[in-house]
Structure 1
Amino acid sequence: MASAPQGQLPLFYNQLAALSSVDHADFRVRPTNTAPFLANHHAVPLTVEEFPLVQRRMPIVFSVGDDPVPLALMGLNEGVNTFLDAEGKLIDDETYIPAYVRRYPYMLARLRPESEELSLCFDPTSETIGAFEEGDKLFENGEPTELTRNILSFAEQFEQAGQRTSQFMTELKEQGLLMDGEISIQPEGAQPFVYRGFQMIDEAKLNELRGDQLRKMQQNGMLPLIYAHLFSLSLMRDLFGKQMRQGKMPQQPVPLTTN
């Protein structure tokens, strides 16, 4: 069984193995309505295409570091997810689930650092794929089934969306539009909770951009995405309220972390 490099695996992934019609000829996928791997995560990577869908439901922020990525916040504190119960089942079936989550346990990966070719891989520790008696087949007569072809297509679309997201983030950094974020929320009669450890758009710098710069951002689709992010920040207090109602508040205020 060919395995991808195990160092620096993305969020949620414990191992990676290349999906093979030989090694996994009898593998099946069984459906599930839970995501236990997500239940204790408060921040999920996003692609730019998802901003319009997410901004009405979850705050969108950016991670810290040299290579920031967009994040959908499902909670404000480490280990808190207000949209799922302890078993990883959606509390509200209408909740939008980011593509990054829906892609798991599959992804495209390079099996060797020097290789340009991407292979369809999966996390063998996932309980949804294996040599089960029940479930949908991944291969039939040595050929990928329609299910496998659909999985590959989704992974390819996600990879392309990730490249567009990287271009968006590069432009934000080059324009100097990212700033350290901070939000203070004070429950009645209690000490304020101050959340940091994320980045957001600097509205002052956005307003200082020249007309030609703004026009370019409007034409290439960046400006609507920026405002989707800014509008979504109003949901921070709503998310805080959900945590309080669910009894998921920490004993003392702690910084928001995004990694």
Structure 2
Amino acid sequence: MATAPANPNLPLFYQDLAPLSSVDHADFRVRMMDNANFLVGQHAVPLTTDEFTQACRFYPIVFSAGDNPVPLALMGLNEGINTFVDDEGKLLNPVYVPAYIRRYPFLLARLRPDSDELSLCFDPTSGAIGKFDEGDLLFEDGKPSEATNGILEFCKNFEEAGQRTGMFVEELKKADLLMDGEVSITPGDGGQQPYIYRGFQMVDETKLRDLRGDVLRKMMQSGMLGLIFAHLFSLQLMREVFAEQVKSGKMQLVTEAPTV
């Protein structure tokens, strides 16, 4: 279910990266984006565990396949289908917007491989940053503006949430709780061939029930158990997302029942 960015050397959504500079971008402004056209056709977005309790009300939360799984909010079940935005990238209904989306076009990146220092960078192709008449200045008197400091703080918080998410996933792997997921959905009146969705991971409820009491107690005390339940409860939304795909007519893009 998870797709890689078009440029494998860049994170999802980002077409290019440039470090924010008080010299090169002294008179640049950042403005609100009218739409999120980078979301059109994107069906899965990375999610941090800090967001599980909010996101589970709107999106199925799964884990990507492979040895280094990451949590994903599913905005569609098929490649190229996003049921939460229109063809211009505007939200169809009020929903929780994952921090990964809200962070764009900024991020913290390591510019030198021999240094752990992270620098604030942006995607110059986004159209949100430039020499505009409107928007917030990025620098004032050669120093980061209040807007830039707010962006930097948001990106720092996102990185910290990402570290917590990584530790959560490592604990799931250590307890051997992740399994290959599979969902079968039969559209309409049940007379059609079912759509089989694979290519993701989920928590194995049987193994969860069989965990020793001390392990479960530790998970409950750390808050990990609540995150697991948020993930499991969210899986019922897969059928709702599928129904939205059918309702919108986007399933016409799928020529046969897929195995994703």
User: TM-score under structure 2 normalisation?
Assistant: 0.94
Residue in structure 2 matching 1:254, options 248, 255, 258: 258
Structure-1 residue corresponding to 2:43: 42
Residue identity matched to 2:107: M
Q: Are 1:19 and 1:122, in contact at CA under 8 Å, matched by a contact in 2?
A: yes
Matched AA of 1:122 = F
CA distance in 1, matches of 2:198, 2:114: 38
**1:32 alignment partner in structure 2:** 33
In structure 1, C-alpha distance between the alignment counterparts of 2:12 and 2:257, rounded to whole Å? 25
Once structures 1 and 2 are overlaid, which stretch shifts more, 187-196 or 238-247? 187-196
1:110 counterpart = 2:110: yes
Moved over 4 A (4+): none
Kindly indicate whether residue 208 of structure 2 is the aligned counterpart of residue 195 of structure 1. no
RMSD: 1.1
Identify the residue that residue 125 of structure 1 maps to in structure 2. Answer: 125
Q: Distance in 2 between matches of 1:133 and 1:14?
A: 25
For residues 25 and 169 of structure 1, the distance between their equivalents in structure 2, rounded to whole angstroms, comes to 41
Classify the secondary structure of the residue corresponding to 1:37: helix
1:207 corresponds to: 209
C-alpha distance after superposition, 1:76-118 (max 9, x if no partner):
00111101000000111x2111000000010011001111101
Provide the residue aligned with 2:165 in structure 1.
165
- The answer on whether the counterparts of 1:109 and 1:120 sit within 8 Å (CA) in structure 2 is yes
Deviations 1:178-235 (A, max 9, x none): 0000000011221110000000000111111000000010011100000000000000
Which residues of structure 1 form unaligned runs of 5+? 1-5
How far 1:7 moved relative to its partner?
A: 6.1
More divergent stretch after superposition (31-40 vs 19-28): 31-40
- Secondary structure at 2:85 match in 1: coil
Alpha-carbon deviation of 1:71?
0.3
* Alignment of structure 1 residues 38-187 onto 2, 5 Å: 38-92=39-93, 94-187=94-187
128-137 vs 171-180, which deviates more?
128-137
- Report the AA paired with residue 202 of structure 1: D
Residues 191/201 of structure 1: CA separation in 2 closer, same or farther (3 Å cut): same
- Counterpart CA distance in 1 for 2:83 and 2:127 is 23
* 1:90 counterpart letter in structure 2: L
Cα deviation digits, residues 153-172 of structure 1 (max 9, x gap): 00000000000000000000
Unmatched 5+ stretches in structure 2: 1-6
Q: Which residue type is aligned with residue 106 of structure 1? A: F
Q: Are the counterparts in 2 of residues 60 and 233 from structure 1 also a CA contact under 8 Å?
A: yes
2:33, 2:123 → 1: CA distance? 16
Amino acid across the alignment from 1:141: D
| TM-score calculated relative to the size of structure 1 | 0.94
Partner amino acid, structure 2, of 1:251: T
1:2-44 deviation per Cα after TM superposition (whole angstroms, max 9, x unaligned)? xxxx862111111111101001111111112310001110000
Contact 1:77 1:255 in 2 (8 A): no
In the other structure, the counterpart of 2:236 is 234
Q: For 2:193 and 2:164, locate their aligned partners in 1 and report how far apart those are by CA, in whole Å.
A: 41
Distance of aligned partners of 1:247 and 1:7 in 2 relative to their CA distance in 1, 3 Å threshold:
closer
Counterpart AA for 1:86: D
Give the corresponding residue for 1:3.
Answer: none
| Counterparts in 2 of 1:197 and 1:7: CA distance versus 1, 3 Å | closer
